[in-house]
Amino acid sequence: MTDELRVVCWNIEHNGRGPSGGDDHRDLARDILADIEPHIVLRQELTGAWDRGKADLYAEANRLGGLTPFMAAPREGRSRNPVGVMVDPALFLVDGEFEHDLAWKPICNPRVRLKGCPKSLDLASAHLCHFDPDMRATEARRLTTLADHGRSALVGMDANSYPHQTALESVALPDWDKVADRVHYQHRTIERDGRRVSDTRPDEILSGGDPVFTDLGLHAATTLGRPGALAATASLKRTDQGAAQRIDRMYCTPDLAPALLAFDVLATDEVREVSDHALLVARFDLNVLRQVLTPAR
């Protein structure tokens, strides 16, 4: 039995189909993921995967060794790029499946248990609203409920916003005077003290102050000595929105953080061919996780 749990989080641009029905990269995306042999997949932009009986969703899950897939249903008049989660049935039992129906895009939230462990683990994939900072704050606050009442949780997302502990980051926040896309400026900034600044509120809500969650990238960089965990994740293609930023992030409740072994941001040529977002890979010590999820009586 494996002693390592591999978790990936990836926004595959338009599910590998290209933004305008262009080149089809679905097979390449699945090959990239299959090489990692993940036990948990937190996916964003499952565009079209609901169609034809969720055929694309199952094709991806089957290519990854027969993972158990979940996805949020797209809503008419809202985002058509839903999120999903896949889990390894050899390691996990499913205790429940929840969908948080927020104003723009639902959050997909299966509740699972490592086999042999009594405590459940809430998993969530989220893609925060791209155009409304206030909605992103609401979505982040909704995610905090997964950790309520002492529950353990693991979350992956395209946050469409920025880390708040900027002094620790390896990438500077955008210089908005130099960003050509002024619509992007409206979408990604908030007003503070009479000034427009980069929106860091979701990260503040999730991991600021007395934190509800631990930012796995930041934890890997500061505790495990892996500075590459703070690499920029998006956009890997556009240049009119400023330099790429660390907008794709993974979080866990603090009880799980000691089990983290490594955290990598993959932006290889193949990843860039498939998506404008880097691929995140978190590796956990499975034995430590089992201890955490088997609390003393």
Specify the 3-state DSSP secondary structure of 186. helix
Greatest CA separation found in the chain? 58
**pLDDT, average across residues 91-104:** 97
Residue 24: closest CA among 283, 292, 274, 266 = 274
pLDDT tier for residue 18 given thresholds of 50, 70 and 90: low
Query: Is the peptide bond prior to 152 cis by the omega test (within 30 degrees of 0)?
Result: no
pLDDT digits 0-9 by tens, 113-161: 999 999 999 999 999 999 999 999 999 999 999 999 999 999 999 999 9
Whole-angstrom Cα distance, residue 139 to residue 62?
A: 30
Answer for the pair 130, 186: CB distance below 8 angstroms, yes or no: no
Structure confidence at residue 1 (pLDDT): 45
Answer for the pair 239, 176: CB distance below 8 angstroms, yes or no: no
Structure confidence at residue 23 (pLDDT): 78
Structural domains present in the chain: 4-172+200-292 (3.60.10.10)
pLDDT digits 0-9 by tens, 60-74: 999 999 999 999 999
Residue 82, token pair as written in the block: 């839903």
**pLDDT, average across residues 190-200:** 96
Answer for the pair 231, 265: CB distance below 8 angstroms, yes or no: yes
pLDDT, mean over the chain = 96
- Ranges 121-130, 203-212, 214-223, 234-243: which has the least confidence: 234-243
Residue 60: closest CA among 31, 98, 24 = 31
Q: Where is 7: in which H helix or E strand?
A: strand 4-11
